[in-house]
Structure 1
Amino acid sequence: MTSSSTTDFTSTDDDTGSTVDLRDPGELLAALPHLLGFEPVESLILIGHRGEGGKRIGNVVRADLPEPGGEVALAQRLLDPVAQDSVAVTAAVVGRRRPGASVPPSGSAVAAVGEVFARRGLPLVHALWAPEIRAGAPWRCYEDACCSGHLPDPQGTVMAAITTHAGLVTHASRAAMARQLDPVDPEVLTRRTALLRRRAAHGRQDDEAAFRRGRAAIRTALARTRDGTFTVSDTEVVELAAALAVPSVRDACLATALPAGGALALVAERLWLRLTRHTPAPERAQPATLLAYSAYVRGEGAFAGMALEVARESDPEHLLAQLLSQALDHGLPPETIAGLARTCDVEPIWEHGEAGTPEQSAN
């Protein structure tokens, strides 16, 4: 998100068959780290309610707590992402009170959310506070001091079970999640930059032959990633960066994110993550954008936003990264973004339901 403070967007999957009880404030607060992918601190979190009667969790948006005077601007910025498919909203503040204070912090931010969202026809049905998300931490409501309690163990929530079953990691902090994208040693990247420039001097191609070569290289790398035999050498990075520089190859790779959260999609996401760390700029933007797209369509908008930030820093003119950033800013549902891959008319990297490994039919 493009703002003076950090903002993260998440969309839950309505097809999990599992339920998080919105009526239990303690359970909802304890589920926040698993909804976001990391433990929030000093944060304002807005949880959209969707479906008949607002009984399902919709879009979830987290932002840094605003400075005094910035409450209304923050509420206005968060409105569009939360409003998608929502019929109401719950606000949660995670942050410590000032010494000696008897009321929860950031009440003005909560009030601003209520006023701004009401003008859009979205009622603020609940406002909750906890100093931190840990077992036994106190929580209370803003409007009723008698509405209070202590948090259950966050590791024992329904959301914890869902994320663990899906193989997803809940990070100790937002910074810990972002560190996954840290680049490797600068000397390694400098060496690879020289190799990529040398290869680029021979000219770039985007014809059928280039697509076939690039597709074969990506399929082989995906197969080795699935088998645990992929090694990130200079040769591999240069070959795969050249493959992703072919627009038709990059577009075909979008479909590896579907079905969202599936076994093959997670294999592809692991490959894009490794390439994001090991590829120098500006070529780094290609795997970072594919990583962001995969995270986005499975609902992990916070990590998608981090990957898009990397992509746009690596190549500010990268069109797909710009488009995905705009979609994330406006809270477009993952199922809408998944349409990009479904409408791609180039030959896919692998076919859904393909019996063998990707490398078996790479040629």
Structure 2
Amino acid sequence: MTTPSTAGTVKVDLRNPGQLLAAIPHLLGFRPADSVLVIGHRGETGNRIGNVLRADLPNPDEDVALAVRLRTPLLYDDSVGVTIAIVGGGHDGENATGPPRRQLVDTITDAFAEANLCVMHALWVPEIQDGARWQCYEDSTCTGRLPDPNSTVLAAVSAHAGLITYGSREAMERQLDPVDPAVLARRSALLDEIADSRPDGPGQYPDDCPAPADPVECGRAVVRAALARAHRGDFEFCDREVVELALALERTEIRDACLATALPPAGPRAVTAERLWLALTRELPAPERAQAATLLGYSAYVRGEGALAGMAVARAREADPGHVLAQLLAQALDHALPPETLAKLGASTETDPLWEPGGP
């Protein structure tokens, strides 16, 4: 099967159930535990990975509701079938008659059959770790040991692209935690001071801004310089620099140019920009944090990392409940809009590229 990467499409053989299970952390961006996953198969023969959906294992009386919720996004996809994977949820499989949560698997299978979606495989593994024994639900002789998830081809592809696979969902979410409240308060006061002294519109910069006098050009210069620094691995921004970036991102023209940096997904420009938006999500106070968090959510979304996209959009809406683009992204996530469809938004905004690695 194939999975997207910085090289366009890299062929990775996931036909072996153990290889597919070992790839899950790199498909999700983190290593799941006590989870149910539905992996969509796209293409005429189902040989391409589509949506990868994850949810916590439910209580038994919630199985039907969860099955319907997992089915809904696949109705908007061109998946021809799915693989169900249960991670955790019971015994270790060594001395039992079969894997756990069979009722949940049967419920999902029935719900998908109603929508003419075939369950091609149903698998269980106690944890995604090197050597863990996996089992099939329908064939007791279908079993094996997981390869090291960190040594798979997909792991190498992800690492080469500069993408991080976290040890857990909680670890992924912790990276979005804001910096020290005192630092945020100091920056918020600076932003208020500028707003009070220059009330004629967003993106008004200090008088000694080194860029041209035009606010849009000045803002583009500020963001371009920050992206160049991020590309070198420099994310140490002082209060003044963070404030200037916040002012720049308030301008629609600059925000739209920043959306385009997410393309092509997982390319060098997109990886650099996403790291910058992640840093600013932590470094900016509310409500300005919403701009960076929304850009982070968009970048993660178009490269297929829905979990991080959902976390970022939630942080954006928390910082600014009325943020329009964050609301639109939340709706796209709820309906599992295909990433390639959402990518058209960024493509339509790039009339004048903001920044390229190695550029001026």
Superposition TM-score, scaled by structure 2 size: 0.90
Q: How far off is 1:62 after superposition?
A: 0.8
CA contact (8 A) 2:124 2:136 kept: yes
2:38 alignment partner, one of 28, 31, 46: 46
- SS at structure 1 position matched to 2:11: coil
Give the CA RMSD over aligned residues. Answer: 2.1
Q: Note if contact 1:47-1:82 (Cα within 8 Å) is conserved in structure 2.
A: no
2:155 is equivalent to residue 160 of structure 1: yes
Residues in 2 aligned to 1:268 and 1:234: alpha-carbon distance in whole angstroms: 20
Residue 66 of structure 1 corresponds to: 58
How far the C-alpha of 1:161 sits from its partner, in A, is 2.1
Residue 170 (structure 1) aligns with: 165
Q: Is residue 39–residue 50 contact of structure 2 (8 Å, CA) maintained in 1? A: yes
Residue pairs, 1:290-329, within 5 angstroms:
290-329=295-334
**Contact 1:257-1:294 at 8 Å conserved across structures:** yes
Which of the residues 103, 109, 131 maps onto 2:104?
A: 109
Corresponding residue for residue 123 of structure 1: 118
Q: Matches of 2:351 and 2:186 in 1, distance apart?
A: 33
Counterpart of 1:360?
Answer: none
Q: What is the alpha-carbon distance in structure 2 between the residues aligned to residue 51 and residue 345 of structure 1?
A: 30
In the alignment, is the contact (CA less than 8 A) between 2:36 and 2:84 conserved in 1? yes
Label 1:97 to 1:38 Cα distance change in 2 as closer, same or farther (>3 A): same
1:13 counterpart residue number: 4
**Matched positions, count:** 344
Deviation at 1:313, TM superposition (A): 0.9
Matched, 1:203 2:187: no
Note the C-alpha offset of 1:232: 1.5
**Aligned position for 1:144:** 139
**Residues 53, 179 of structure 1: CA spacing in aligned structure 2 closer, same or farther, 3 A cutoff?**
same
Q: Deviations over 1:18-50 (max 9, x none)?
A: 12323x111111111111111110000101011
Distance (whole Å) between structure 2 residues aligned to residue 203 and residue 47 of structure 1:
51
- Tell whether 2:79 aligns with 1:76: no
Q: Does 1:33 align with 2:29?
A: no
Are 2:35 and 2:87, in contact at CA under 8 Å, matched by a contact in 1? yes
Code of the residue aligned with 1:205 in structure 2: it is: G
Distance in 2 between residues matched to 1:302 and 1:326, nearest whole Å: 14
Pick from 76, 81, 85 the counterpart of residue 88 of structure 1.
81
1:257 matched to 2:262: yes
- How far is the alpha carbon of 1:348 from its aligned partner? 3.8
In structure 1, C-alpha distance between the alignment counterparts of 2:315 and 2:235, rounded to whole Å: 23
Partner of 1:269: 274
Contact kept, 8 Å, 1:44 with 1:91, in 2: the verdict is yes
Distance 1:25 1:230 in 2: 40
1 CA distance for matches of 2:141 and 2:219?
63
Distance in 1 between residues matched to 2:221 and 2:47, nearest whole Å: 46
Unaligned runs of 5+ in 1: 1-10, 358-363
Q: In the aligned structure 2, how far is the partner of 1:204 from the partner of 1:347?
A: 26
**Percent of paired sites with the same residue:** 57
Cα shift at 1:218: 0.9
CA distance in 1, matches of 2:111, 2:234: 52
Offset at residue 139 of structure 1 (A): 1.1
**C-alpha displacement of 1:80:** 2.7
Unaligned runs of 5+ in 2: 204-212
Partner of 2:225 in structure 1? Answer: 220
Cα distance, 1:12–1:61 mapped onto 2, change above 3 Å: farther
Say which of 281, 285, 291 aligns to 2:290.
Answer: 285
Partners of 1:205 and 1:246 within 8 A in 2: no
SS of aligned partner of 2:82: strand
Residue 49 of structure 2 corresponds to which residue in structure 1? Answer: 57
Shift of 1:224: 2.0
| 1:180 and 2:175 matched | yes
Select the structure with the greater relative contact order (CA < 8 A; seq sep ≥ 6).
1
